[in-house]
Structures are given as structure tokens and as C-alpha cells.
Structure 1
Amino acid sequence: MLDRSRPYGRSPRDLKPGVHDASPEHYWLMRRDLSQIHRPLGWPDSLHRVDFSRENAVAVHRLLRLGTELGGGRVPDFETWLDGFENDPEFDPALCFVLEDSSGVIAVAQCWTSAFIRNLVVHPRLQGQGVGLALLNHVFETFAARHEGHVDLKVMESNLTARRLYERAEMYYVQRCELEPR
């Protein structure tokens, strides 16, 4: 439900939480306009993109679950999550972007066919090195090539690190919503 308890601005581009807004009971819908795509940033040479597969599914799911522990959000149990790739039309294995290094899976952006980033996680040991921004730009480039107008995601208001990353990626705040009880 939209929290209308305080005004944020006249237009969606004017919306922005204050520096002290970090409620664990709220999340934000954020958007990136794809009409002007910049040259994508590359990730470090020690990383390489691999296709999502049954072979790396356990490691991908484990990283997504770690992301929810650290930043909020929800990822179902492994079998339910994996079943989505076969039975949910929003899931497409080609839209699950996986980065690996010599230790294994270190970053994932799982997207839906509706140009929505369902989950984005970078392993804590690589955060702050531009991997998340490079992965986001790869997602934006992919959806622009599919002729989408924008990409959306939801971020917990309390996840300040993720919010800063999305702001750097030129995403803007669209709507503040109350978190539904589990």
C-alpha cells in the first residue's frame, strides 16, 4: 500500500527519501529510464559472466539468500525458486545474469520478463568495487535491446547501500510502499 503520510514532491522525479528515512516497514519502487543508455561499464577482468544453469543453480540461490539476510527482501526455498524457471512465465533463465570468479558465483541479477529486477546481489567480499553498477548496466543494456522503455525494482528503505547503488545507476524513486506482513 502506498504510504501517503507525507509529501515527497510534485513529480516522480522529485521523489526521494530523506537521509534519515530507513524504515524496515517500507520499500521503494525505483525505475531507470532506458531512452538514453550509456556505454556499459565492464566488470573486473577476474570476473566472467556465465549462463544460469542447473549446475550453478544451488550457488546462485545461496547467494540470493545471503542477499536477503543482509539487505532484506524475499527468496523462496530452493525447489520453489527453481520451479519458477520452468512454470512461471515471468522467469526466464536468459534473464538471470551470473558472474563468477575463481571461487564461484559472486554476483547475480535475476530479472523478470516484464523488465523488473527481482533480485540483485553482489557477494560482500566484492561490494564497493563497481561490480553491482556494471551488472546493473548490463541489465539495462539487455532490456534496452529488447525495446523496453524502463526497468523497475523494489528496494527496502532500510537498505541504504543498495539505494545508493541504484541512485548512482541513475534510477529514480517512483513510489514508497508499506511492506506487506509475511
Structure 2
Amino acid sequence: MKRNTGPATPLTFRAGTAEDFSECAELWMRALALRDGTPSDPEMKRKASAKLTAPGGILSIAESQSGTHGFALAVDEKPACDARTAHLALLAVDPAYQGRGLGRALLANMTQLLVTDGFAEVSLRVLEANMSARKIYEKAGWKIAGCGIFEDSGRPYIRYLLGLAQNDP
């Protein structure tokens, strides 16, 4: 299978707003349907919408003139602590844009936003079987920090951490 090497149109990143929540939830569902080979699940959409609309989220949108092609959502896990910790709650790329480096670009963009905002560390959980996503995280310097089972699906996940402090390698 031939992979695309780059987006056909220039992409820009911007901060997401409440007006983006519905479109991001739809995009999340399309990406899940492709990844899992399953039809859209209203409960999964509800959970994604709840994450998107929760207070304190940091939403980054990747778009072109033709629309939104991906997004990343991080949440502040310890806002009252000296060392702020974020959790990358959602990251999705429109299936039509997958394989073009947009996932890596969204991850890098979100990481830079978190560094700029003073976060010391960021975590994420990814399906153990999602090797394409795991390779992206590991190439970007994320380290395996544990494993578990997603409560909603019962599927195993790998937990990753990335140090964001200036003195981290």
C-alpha cells in the first residue's frame, strides 16, 4: 500500500473553541470506525463529547481551507500543583489524511503548547494493539510507564509519559 507523504493542501494549527466540539466528536468517531472496523457507537461519541466540553481542556485543531483534518485534546490533571501534569485525552486524524504525518504534527504541536503553558509532564493511554500510534509516540520520545485495561471497552492499553521540563532529554 502506497502511503501519502504529505498533505495536498497547507495545514495550519489553531486553538480550538466550543464551536469545534461537535465537529471534533464526529471526526473522532470516523477515526475510531476506521481503526476498529466498527460502526459508530453513540456512547463513545457521548464520552468524546464529554471530554471535549469539560472545563480546562486544551484543544488544538489542524485545518486547511477545506476544513478540520485533525485535533488533539489535553487536560490539566493537577492544576493546583507546582508541577503541572497534563493528559492527552484525545488525538484524531481524519481518515482521509492518515498516513501523511498529521498525527506526528498534532502531537508535536500539542507538546509545544504544553511546554509553553508550563506543564512538566504529559501522559496518554493508547490501545496496546495500536502499533502505528505507539510507534509515533515512541519516536517522539514518549516512554512506557505502565499498562491497564480501559474501563469502557475492556481492551488493554499502554500508558506513556513524556517529560516536558527544559532539563529533560
The TM tier, using the shorter chain, reads 0.5 to 0.7
- AA at the equivalent of 1:104: G
Is contact 2:60–2:73 with CA below 8 Å preserved after alignment? yes
1:93-123 deviation line (CA, Å, top 9, x unaligned): xx11011123311011011122111011111
Kindly indicate which of the two structures has a greater share of residues assigned to helix: 2
Query: For residues 154 and 106 of structure 1, what CA distance do their matches in structure 2 show?
Result: 22
Match of 2:46 among 77, 80, 99: 77
Matched, 1:106 2:69: yes
Alignment of 1:114-133 (within 5 A): 114=77, 115-133=86-104
The alignment-based identity, stated in percent, is 23
| Structure 2 segments unaligned to the other structure (5+ residues) | 1-6, 37-42, 78-85, 154-169
Looking at structure 2, the residues matched to 130 and 168 of structure 1 have their Cα atoms a distance apart, in angstroms, of 13
Matched, 1:139 2:110: yes
**1:42-93 CA distance string (max 9 Å, x none):** x886112233234333221111122232346x84428x825863xx44x42x
Structure number with greater Rg is 1
Counterpart for residue 60 of structure 2: 97
- Within the candidate set 28, 43, 49, 2:13 is matched to 49
Distance 1:136 1:67 in 2: 16
How far, CA to CA, are the matches of 1:146 and 1:45 in structure 2? Answer: 29
Find runs of 4+ consecutive structure 1 residues off by over 6 angstroms.
none
> 1:168-179, aligned counterparts within 5 Å?
168-179=139-150
Which stretches in structure 1 are left out of the alignment for 5+ residues? 1-42
Aligned to 2:107, the other structure's residue is in SS state helix
TM-score by length of 2: 0.66
Which one has more relative contact order, counting CA pairs under 8 Å at least 6 apart?
A: 1
| CA contact 1:68–1:75 (8 Å) conserved in 2 | no
Q: Partners in 2 of 1:56 and 1:106 — Cα distance?
A: 12
Q: 1:146 to 1:122 in 2, by over 3 A?
A: same
Change beyond 3 A, Cα 1:147–1:65: same
Q: What letter matches 2:87 in structure 1?
A: F
User: CA separation of 1:180/1:56 partners in 2, compared to 1, >3 Å: closer, same or farther?
Assistant: closer
